[in-house]
Amino acid sequence: MSREDIRNQINAYEEKIAKLEEEVSKKELSIKKRNKES
């Protein structure tokens, strides 16, 4: 495995993490909204 392969893999994981963090924050917002409504 070359350094470039490793770098590409890290970038791919960072993108996945960023997407997951986005989804989590959206869910947290919707939960907060729901809690305010009830």
The full set of domain ranges for the chain reads 1-38
d(CA 1, CA 18): 25
Q: Supply the pLDDT for residue 21.
A: 99
Local structure of residue 3 (DSSP, 8 states): H
φ/ψ of 2, rounded to 5, equals -85, 170
State the sign of the Cα–Cα–Cα–Cα dihedral 16, 18, 23, 24: positive
Q: Supply the pLDDT for residue 34.
A: 94
Q: Scan for tokens 């470039």, then name that residue.
A: 4
pTM of the model: 0.70
pLDDT in tens, 1-38: 899 999 999 999 999 999 999 999 999 999 999 999 88
